[in-house]
Amino acid sequence: MDIRKLEDLLRKVKSGKTSLDEAISQLKSLPFEDLGFTRIDHHRSLRKGFPEVIWGEGKTTTQIISIMKQLKGKGQNILITRLEERKAEAIKRVFPKSRYAPRSKVLIYLTHSVKFEGKGTILVITAGTTDIPVAEEAAITAQIMGNRVETLFDVGVAGIHRLLNERQRLEAARVLIVVAGMEGALPSVVGGLVDRPVIAVPTSVGYGTSFGGITALLAMLNSCASGVAVVNIDNGFGAGYIASLINRM
């Protein structure tokens, strides 16, 4: 609750400009509405200039379209993650300007153009080619949140010269997102090469004892390089989001 707004309100109560009931009602009415199945918080996106994000998994096409309509009415940009192709196609029929990236299962719908608010470049790096879907989710998230994004794919540590060849790009980035499965070693090497924050994203790529990304996650949490923080397995969106917060600073 904002102290200045409270002060303002109390002043109006005192002066009689605002009735008691109205004051209580105002204090209670925070700006979100009830769609029956989900509460959308415009408050946040209005405040931040951020898109509204919808987690596509487990929602029906009908539910998603209903939310999108309401958000469009508010003039919001929309980012939908983990959206199956089948649903994306149905949505495109209603919102033809939607853009869907099948590899990362992300759909975006812009009601207004994205304003560049990031101060530098966010570089999204992957260890292998199978990590690309997660990296793309991160990249699209960062783009719709107003950042210049570059990518550098398939530079895993078993061929370390591939990474070292790109040191200039590494050093030019302001924030780095490093996406890796299997042994998850890439963030440690990258973290040792740059002076910028590294957001590490473990992926569920691998087999046997990769345990669906747990090995990569653990390796990243135990990185011997400083300057590395970690998000959940396959959480490209989360990485893109926090990288965007940092790049605005």
Q: What is the DSSP string of 77-108?
A: -EEEES--HHHHHHHHHHSTT-EEETTTTEEE
Q: How far is the CB of 96 from its own copies (least distance, A)?
A: 27
The region that residue 85 occupies, defined by phi over 0 for left and psi between -120 and 50 for alpha, beta otherwise, is alpha
Selected binder of its own copies within 51, 59, 61, 142 (CB under 8 A): 59
Q: How far is the CB of 61 from its own copies (least distance, A)?
A: 15
Cα radius of gyration (the chain): 21
Stretch in the footprint of its own copies (CB under 8 A) among 69-77, 93-101, 106-114, 235-243: 235-243
Residue 1 as a binder of its own copies (CB under 8 A): the answer is: yes
Residues 6+ apart with CB under 8 A from 181: 127, 128, 130, 131, 202, 203, 204, 205, 206, 210, 213, 216
Rounded CA-CA distance 211/205 in Å is: 9
> For its own copies, which is the closer residue by CB, 92 or 166?
166
Residues numbered 84 to 103 that lie near its own copies (CB under 8 A) are none
> For its own copies, which is the closer residue by CB, 2 or 96?
2
Residues numbered 119 to 178 that lie near its own copies (CB under 8 A) are 119, 127-130, 132, 153-162, 164-165, 167-168, 174
Strands (E) located in the chain: 32-34, 39-41, 52-55, 78-81, 99-101, 106-109, 121-126, 148-152, 175-180, 198-202, 228-230
Stretch in the footprint of its own copies (CB under 8 A) among 42-50, 68-76, 84-92, 106-114: 42-50
> For its own copies, which is the closer residue by CB, 114 or 193?
193
Q: The tokens 């769609």 sit on which residue? A: 35
Q: How far is the CB of 105 from its own copies (least distance, A)?
A: 12
> For its own copies, which is the closer residue by CB, 98 or 215?
215
Residues numbered 183 to 212 that lie near its own copies (CB under 8 A) are 183-185, 188-189, 191-193, 195-199, 202, 204-212
H or E element at residue 244: helix 236-247
Residues numbered 62 to 81 that lie near its own copies (CB under 8 A) are none
Selected binder of its own copies within 5, 11, 69, 74 (CB under 8 A): 11
Residue 51 as a binder of its own copies (CB under 8 A): the answer is: no
DSSP assigned state of 129: S
Query: Among positive and negative, which fits the CA dihedral 151, 164, 178, 194?
Result: negative
> For its own copies, which is the closer residue by CB, 107 or 202?
202
Selected binder of its own copies within 124, 144, 216, 236 (CB under 8 A): 216
Q: How far is the CB of 23 from its own copies (least distance, A)?
A: 6
